[in-house]
């Protein structure tokens, strides 16, 4: 057993011991969630309040032990294994620290949770930067975009700049200690901005790297999907100011998944069409001719249940319909098609279009 695993195992045992010790002393409902101001806004039962984090730590330990053994590029992980092991220990300590703060709060101590979490998050972000800087290409750890995974050169350049940015994010996070009212923005916004920047940076580095035709197609597909998702998120944020109420974080994540699937499938759809055209001047005309009917039938502008039966039948053949209904379910909690069925249909369409697009793109001038 590695030294890092022994340390983590010890922390987990200590967590369970603390939970067992405090169990008789705790109320039936424990504070478990704090809002951006550091005030309690969520509770859970005593059992889960005391043992959820230790159980999560066990799952994470098993996952972290498994990853270096199953990664196809496991030899690369060994090159930065000491940084990986350090990160695993650090994130376990972070969870243990959060666990202690939760227990202290529920035993009668009062403090601003965000203020106490800020320095821990700063350390975690800063060390993440160290890990990112030293990470070698693999499938589980680091900035894993289609473009970094396709080229060692793109991976190395992206991770060098990504590591520096995450270190900066760690330093910025310390400011949350002094500006408590803006703490959540100080912590979250730099990480989001730097994450988006590294994704975009890797894409442009990929464009100038010598790669195969298949890799170019996949890069274009994921790049187009990334652009469409970012555009969708911008519209989503703007809609919050004109009356949209997101039902839950889970709903937002569901909507995000459907947005990503729509972006992937229709970007690959466009590449498939372009691959069969000899004259690219008419590509935009043909895409408009195809896309507008697909959008019009999708239910984005009006409920599909209000359509005449024959039009509704056409709408059910439209793959975008299932994406729209999935997003509607995520954001509003209602859908005219079972959301799981929508997910299965849209996922199947996405896989089909990516495979077809890759095949046709490889056949160009072959």
168, pLDDT greater than 90: yes
38, pLDDT greater than 70: no
Give residue 365's region: left, alpha or beta (phi > 0; psi -120 to 50): left
Q: What is the pLDDT of residue 16?
A: 95
For residue 95, which phi and psi values (nearest 5 degrees)? -65, -40
230, pLDDT greater than 80: no
- Cβ within 8 Å of residue 30, ≥6 positions away: 43, 44, 45, 46, 49, 50, 102, 106
CA 324, 329, 335, 340 torsion-angle sign? positive
Q: What is the pLDDT of residue 290?
A: 80
CA 297 to the chain's CA centroid: 30
Tens digit of each residue's pLDDT (9 = 90 or more) over 186-198: 888 888 888 888 8
Q: Return d(Cα 306, Cα 313) in angstroms, integer.
A: 12
Strand partners, 30: 44
Contact 71, 139 (CB under 8 A): yes
Tens digit of each residue's pLDDT (9 = 90 or more) over 82-137: 999 999 999 999 999 999 998 998 888 888 788 888 899 999 999 999 999 999 99
Rounded to the nearest integer, the mean pLDDT of the chain is: 84
Q: How many CB atoms lie within 10 A of CB 305?
A: 10
Q: What is the pLDDT of residue 241?
A: 55
Closest listed residue to residue 354, CA positions, set 263, 293, 291, 276: 263
Closest listed residue to residue 134, CA positions, set 163, 107, 109: 163
Q: Return d(Cα 159, Cα 198) in angstroms, integer.
A: 8
75, pLDDT greater than 70: yes
Average pLDDT on 144-171 reads 89
Q: Return d(Cα 87, Cα 13) in angstroms, integer.
A: 19
Place of tokens 């990480």: 191
Rounding to the nearest 10 degrees, give the CA dihedral for residues 146, 148, 149, 153.
Answer: 140
309 vs 211 pLDDT, higher one: 309
∠ CA 322-328-329, rounded to 5°:
90
Q: Is the model's pTM score more than 0.95? A: no
* Paired tokens of 356: 């077809």
63, pLDDT greater than 70: yes
Q: What is the pLDDT of residue 211?
A: 59
Q: What is the pLDDT of residue 103?
A: 92
Q: Containing H/E element for 243?
A: none
161, pLDDT greater than 80: yes
160 — pLDDT class (breaks 50, 70, 90): very high
Place of tokens 């997910």: 343
Average pLDDT on 19-46 reads 82
225, pLDDT greater than 80: no
322 — pLDDT class (breaks 50, 70, 90): very high
Average pLDDT on 27-35 reads 81
Q: What is the pLDDT of residue 30?
A: 87
Print the SS3 string covering 155-199.
HHHHHHHHHHHHHHHHHHHHHHHCCHHHHHHHHHHHHHHHHHHHH
């Amino acid at each position: 057993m590695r030294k890092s695993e022994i340390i983590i195992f010890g922390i987990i045992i200590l967590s369970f011991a603390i939970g067992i010790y405090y169990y008789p002393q705790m109320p039936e409902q424990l504070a478990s969630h704090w809002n951006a101001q550091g005030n309690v806004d969520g509770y859970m039962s005593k059992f889960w309040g005391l043992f959820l984090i230790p159980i999560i730590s066990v799952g994470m330990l098993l996952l972290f032990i498994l990853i270096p053994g199953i990664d196809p590029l496991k030899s690369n992980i060994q090159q930065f294994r000491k940084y990986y092991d350090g990160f695993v220990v650090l994130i376990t300590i972070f969870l243990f620290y959060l666990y202690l703060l939760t227990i202290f709060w529920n035993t009668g101590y009062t403090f601003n949770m965000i203020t106490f979490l800020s320095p821990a998050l700063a350390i975690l972000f800063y060390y993440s930067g160290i890990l990112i800087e030293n990470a070698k290409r693999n499938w589980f750890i680091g900035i894993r975009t289609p473009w970094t995974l396709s080229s060692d050169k793109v991976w190395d350049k992206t991770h060098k700049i990504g590591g520096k940015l995450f270190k900066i994010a760690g330093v910025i996070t310390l400011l949350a200690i002094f500006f408590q009212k803006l703490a959540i923005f100080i912590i979250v916004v730099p990480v989001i901005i730097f994450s988006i920047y590294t994704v975009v940076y890797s894409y442009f580095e990929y464009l100038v790297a010598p790669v195969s035709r298949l890799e170019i197609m996949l890069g274009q597909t994921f790049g187009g999907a990334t652009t469409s998702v970012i555009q969708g998120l911008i519209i989503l944020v703007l809609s919050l100011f004109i009356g949209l109420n997101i039902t839950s974080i889970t709903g937002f994540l569901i909507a995000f998944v459907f947005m990503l699937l729509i972006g992937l499938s229709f970007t690959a759809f466009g590449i498939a069409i372009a691959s069969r055209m000899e004259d690219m001047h008419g590509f935009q005309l043909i895409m408009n001719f195809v896309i507008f009917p697909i959008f019009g039938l999708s239910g984005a502008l009006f409920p599909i249940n209000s359509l005449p039966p024959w039009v509704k039948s056409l709408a059910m053949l439209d793959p975008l319909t299932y994406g729209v209904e999935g997003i509607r379910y995520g954001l509003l909690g209602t859908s005219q098609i079972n959301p799981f069925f929508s997910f299965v249909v849209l996922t199947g369409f996405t896989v089909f279009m990516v495979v077809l697009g890759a095949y046709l793109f490889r056949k160009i001038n072959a």
